């Protein structure tokens, strides 16, 4: 059976949690790094994440599952495959060629969307993706993150009226 504890053990067994001197995407310095890019390239980890997220959502109320590029796209894809809910991919910025879309996939006016992310520190990149969905007619109703670093993202989301739901918190790596 898939569980949070199983996911934590998989992440530990795959050396996803690293200690050292790191600069995070937020620009902050940290003495540890959660290498989720490594984790999401492992099928068992990705499958476990998708099953945990799918078990938490009411499939009848969700029209799309979305993830911002790059780290969340494999997670969103896995959740889409597990739940049979269509996928949206959110670019960091519009591309300057082709269709010049910020959102790839079919987002319809009023679609209920869940968003997923690999790791949250401040939550800035995920909030940017949520804004893109909302600005394009979607309705983000829930947000999931695999690992929350417990550095303010949940509180930032609460101020925006969105619940950020971590599968695990970083302190669980220290237990």
Where residue 109 falls (left for φ over 0; alpha for ψ -120 to 50; beta otherwise) is beta
3-state secondary structure of 67: strand
119 is in an annotated binding site: yes
Which residue did the predictor score with more confidence, 136 or 174?
136
pLDDT (mean) for 94-100: 53
pLDDT, position 175: 62
Give the pLDDT score at 92: 77
What class is the 4-174 domain? alpha beta
> Rounded CA gap, 117 and 73, in Å?
8
Q: Dig out the tokens for 40 from the structure.
A: 């999401």
Q: What tens digit of pLDDT does each residue of 35-83 get? A: 998 999 999 999 999 999 999 997 779 999 999 988 899 999 999 999 9
Tell which wins on pLDDT, 133 or 174: 133
Residue 47 assigned ligand-binding role? no
Tell me how far apart the alpha carbons of residues 36 and 171 are, in angstroms, rounded to a whole number. Answer: 16
| 4 annotated among ligand-binding-site residues | no
Q: State yes or no: 95 annotated in a binding site.
A: yes
124 is in an annotated binding site: yes
In the chain, what are the helix, strand and coil shares in percent, each to the nearest 5?
Answer: 40, 30, 35
Q: Are 73 and 115 in contact (CB under 8 A)?
A: no
The residue-averaged pLDDT of 91-103 equals: 66
Residue 123, marked binder: yes
What backbone torsions phi and psi does residue 105 show, to the nearest 5 degrees? 115, 170
Q: What are the tens digits of pLDDT across the range 142-158? A: 999 999 999 889 999 99
131 carries a ligand binding annotation: no
Position 124 pLDDT exceeds 90 = no
Residue 122 among known ligand-binding residues: yes
Helix (H) or strand (E) holding 128, with range, is helix 124-135
Residue found by looking up tokens 């987002």 in the block: 107
Q: What is the pLDDT of residue 98?
A: 47
16 is in an annotated binding site: no
Does residue 55 have a known ligand-binding role?
A: no
Q: Is 142 annotated as a binding residue?
A: no
Rounded average pLDDT over 128-149: 94
Note whether 46 and 78 are within 8 A (CB): yes
Q: What is the pTM of this model?
A: 0.91
Instruction: Choose between 92 and 74: higher pLDDT.
Output: 74
């Amino acid at each position: 059976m898939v569980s949070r504890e199983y996911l934590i053990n998989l992440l530990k067994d795959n050396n996803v949690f690293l200690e050292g001197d790191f600069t995070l995407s937020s620009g902050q310095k940290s003495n540890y790094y959660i290498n989720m890019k490594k984790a999401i390239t492992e099928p068992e980890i990705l499958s476990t994440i998708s099953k945990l997220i799918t078990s938490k959502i009411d499939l009848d109320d969700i029209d799309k599952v979305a993830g911002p590029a790059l780290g969340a796209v494999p997670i969103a894809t896995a959740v889409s495959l597990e739940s049979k809910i269509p996928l949206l991919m959110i670019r960091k910025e519009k591309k300057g060629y082709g269709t010049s879309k910020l959102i790839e996939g079919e987002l319809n006016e009023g679609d209920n969307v869940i968003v997923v992310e690999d790791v949250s520190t401040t939550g800035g990149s995920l909030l940017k993706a949520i804004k893109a969905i909302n600005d394009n007619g979607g309705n983000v109703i829930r947000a999931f993150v695999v690992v929350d670093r417990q550095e303010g993202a949940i509180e930032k989301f609460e101020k925006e009226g969105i619940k950020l739901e971590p599968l695990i918190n970083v302190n669980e790596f220290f237990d």
